[in-house]
Chain A
Amino acid sequence: MSENVTAAKAAKAPAATFGGRGLTIGIAAAAAVTIVGLVLWGMQLAGGFMDTAMRDFAPWGINIALFMFFVGLSVGSMVVAASPRAFGFESFGGIAKMAAWVPICSTVLAIGFVVVDLGQPLRLWELFAYSNLSSPLMWDIIVLSVYLILSVVYLWTLLRAEKRQASAKALRIVSAVVLLWALVVCAVDGWIFGLMPSRALWNTALLAPWFVSSALASGAALVLVLAIALRRTGYVDVREEHVARLAKLLGAFVCVDLFFFACDLVTEGFPGGSGAGIVGMLVAGQLAPFFWIQIVGCALAAVVCFVPKLRTSPLLVAAGLLTVAGVFCKRMQLVVGGFQVPSLDYATFVTPFTVTSDWGVGLAGAYEGMVYAPTLPEVGLALGVLSLGVLLVLVGLKFLPLSSVQGAN
C-alpha cells in the first residue's frame, strides 16, 4: 500500500481541541445566515415569486435541483455509513456516527427546499390529509418521511450499540433496513421526474438507477471530505487505509455515474431524431457549462481516487468537492433541461409570467439561452436553507456523541 504517510502521522496526533471557539462561531454564523434565509423566505411569501426566474414554462428551479441533490446526498452518505454494518465488511474507520448524522441533516434540508418552493406552504398539512396515492411526489413524501424516521432510529441504535445496550444483531438488521430503504427513496425520487411523459430529458427508465449512482457518488464524496476534515480537527479516528477504501469506493461510484451518462447520451443521440437535439443542448448548447463541469470534474475525481500516488488529503478533498459540484451540476441540468425542450413548441404571445425574456423576442428568444437561470434572491434563499443544514451538522457535532476520539465530545 502506498497511501500517503504524512497525513497518517498527522492523524495520530489529534489536536483533541475539537468543539472550541471555532465551532461556536461556526454555529453562530450558520444561524445568522439561516435567519437571513428566513427573512428572504418571508419576503417571497409576501411579495411572490417574481424575483425568481421561475415562470409558467419553467415552473421549477434551483430549489427543486437542490431537493434532488440533498435527497441524493442523504441516501449516498447513509449507504456509505450503514453498508459495513449491514454487510459485515471492513469499516471506514470511526466515521459511522458522523456519517449517520449527515443524512438526517440532508433529508431535513431536502424537505426544506421543497417547502420554501411551495406557493402555499401553510397548506402543507393537506399532504397528509388528502394524499393522492397516484402521485410520484406523494410516494416520495411517504418514503422520505419513513426514511427520516429510520435514519434517526439507525443513529440511535448505533449509539446504543456502542454502549452495549443494543445487540450487534439488532444493529445489523437496522443497518440493512435503512440501507435498503435509502435506495428505495432514491429511486422514487427519480420517478418524480422520470415518470413525466412530456419531458424528453427526464422520461427514461435509466433515471431511477442513475439517481442512485449520482447519490452514491455525492454521498461518498461528502463523507470522504468530512472524514478528512474532521480527522484533522481530531474529531474522528480515521486511518489512512480507511480513507483509501473510501476513495476507491468514491471512484467506483463516479465511474458508474459517468457510465450511465454515456449510456443516456448514446441512446439519445444515436438514432438522430429529437434525441440528437438533447445531446446537442447538453454538449454544446445552453446547458454545456453544467455538462462539462460535471464530466470533467467527475473524471478528474475518479483519476485522483484510483491513482495511489494522487491519494493525498488535499487532492482527495478536491476530488470529493469536484464530485459534489458535478452531481449538483447534473441536478441543474435535469431541472433546466427538462423545461428547455417544450413538448408543444408553437409560437404564441408571451407575458412576463410565461418566460423570463425581453419583450418582443417571444418564446424563441426565451429558449435561445437557458430558459431558467437562478436569480440572486433565489440563490440567497437557497443559501439560507443550506446554512440551516450547516447549522444542524455543526450542532450535531457539538452536542451529539458522534466523535470516535476519546474526549473530543
Chain B
Amino acid sequence: MTRYGFVIDTTRCVGCNFCSMACKVENNLPEDVWWSRAYTDGGEVEQTPSGEWPDNLHMAFMTVGCQHCDNPACVKACPVGATYKDADTGIVRQDFDKCIGCRMCMAACPYSGVRTFNWEEPKYFLDFPVGSADAPKHQKGVVEKCTMCWHRIAKGERPACADVCRTLARHWGDFDDPDSEVSKLIRDRPYKQLLADEGTGPCVYYLV
C-alpha cells in the first residue's frame, strides 16, 4: 500500500509562500484561489512574531493545504462521494465534475480554508493558462482543494510545492514505505500534526 503525504520542517520554513505560488501556477489556479497558504504561528496578523519582546521573539510558519487525512471528515460528509480517498495512494481527491456545490465538506473540514469554493466564474490574471497542460479545469460553483498534484504524481513527478521549496523544508513521499525520506524524518525528529485530536489522522507532519 501507498500512503502519500508531506513532512514540513518548520525549523526551516520562512513563510515565503513559494510553495503556495508554485501550486497556484502549476494548477492554473484562478484569481484569489489558493490551495496552500503559509500560516503564521504568532498573532492575529500575518507575520507576527510570537514570544516576548525584546529577547524572546521568534517566528514560525506552517504551510497549510489539504491534510490528506487517513480519516477525512470531508469524505464522510460529502453526500455524493465527490470527495473520496484514493485507495491506492491515500490521496484525498475531489471530483470537480461530480461536486454539487453544497459545501458540506467545508463545514466538516476542521482545517479552515484548505477547501475553497469557486464563488464566481473563475477569473485569471493572465489571458492564457499557465502550469501543467493536464492540470484540473476549474469551474464555477464547486469546491476545490489540493490534489497533491495528482497529474504530476501520475507522471512519476513530485508535487510542485515539494519541488520548489527554496529552504528544503518541504518533503513528500510514501509513509507506508519505511525507507522513504518522509518515514525516516518522522522516525528521527519530533513533529506535530494539526488538530491531531480531531481524529482526522492528517498525513502532513510538521517537524518542530
Contact = CB atoms under 8 A, between A and B. Distances in A.
A136 B46 CA distance: 36
Interface of B: 17, 32-34, 37-48, 62, 64, 73, 75-82, 98-104, 106-113, 115-121, 140-143, 194-195, 198-200
Nearest to A126: B80
B101 A130 contact: no
A135 B140 contact: no
By Cβ-Cβ distance, the 4 closest A-B pairs, closest first, are: A119-B101, A119-B141, A48-B120, A198-B110
B120 A50 contact: yes
A55 B119 CA distance: 8
Contacts of B117: 49, 56, 59, 119, 353
A134 B75 CA distance: 9
A342 B45 CA distance: 15
A349 B46 contact: yes
Nearest to A346: B39
B109 A347 contact: no
A124 B110 contact: no
Interface size class of A (residues with CB under 8 A): 35 or more
Contacts of B79: 127, 131-132, 135, 137-138, 141
Interface SS of A by simple majority: loop
A233 interface: no
Given A118-B101, A126-B98, A136 B64 contact: no
Given A130-B82, A343-B198, 9 more contacts: A60-B103, A117-B102, A197-B110, A338-B107, A339-B107, A346-B41, A347-B43, A348-B37, A362-B46
A269 B140 CA distance: 41
A199 B77 CA distance: 14
B121 A132 contact: no
A5 interface: no
Contact of B73 (A54, A118, A198): A198
A141 B102 CA distance: 13
B33 A353 contact: yes
A48 B44 contact: no
Contacts of B44: 347, 362-364
Nearest to B141: A119
Contacts of A134: 75-76
Contact of A343 (B42, B110, B199): B110
A5 B113 CA distance: 60
13 contacts: A48-B121, A123-B80, A126-B98, A134-B76, A198-B109, A198-B195, A199-B107, A343-B111, A347-B39, A347-B47, A348-B38, A351-B33, A351-B34
A344 B37 contact: no
A56 B107 CA distance: 10
Interface of A: 47-50, 52, 54-57, 59-60, 114, 117-121, 123-124, 126-127, 129-132, 134-138, 141, 192-193, 196-199, 338-339, 342-349, 351-354, 362-364
B80 A132 contact: yes
A135 B75 CA distance: 8
Nearest to A45: B141
Contacts of A342: 112
Contacts of B194: 344
B77 A196 contact: yes
B100 A347 contact: no
A397 to B, nearest CB: 33
B115 A56 contact: yes
Contacts of A197: 73, 110, 198-200
Contacts of A120: 99-101, 141-142
B45 A48 contact: no
Contacts of A55: 119
Contact of B108 (A49, A114, A196): A196
Nearest to A123: B100
A50 B31 CA distance: 14
A369 to B, nearest CB: 14
A349 B103 contact: no
A374 B187 CA distance: 49
B39 A348 contact: yes
A185 B110 CA distance: 26
Contacts of B119: 48-50, 52, 54-55, 353
Given A56-B106, A353-B32, A348 B100 contact: no
B195 A343 contact: yes
Given A119-B101, A119-B140, A346 B76 contact: no
Which of B34, B38, B108: most chain A CB closer than 10 A?
B108
Given A48-B120, A342-B112, A364 B45 contact: yes
A121 B142 CA distance: 11
Contacts of A60: 103, 107
A96 to B, nearest CB: 34
B45 A347 contact: yes
A48 B113 CA distance: 19
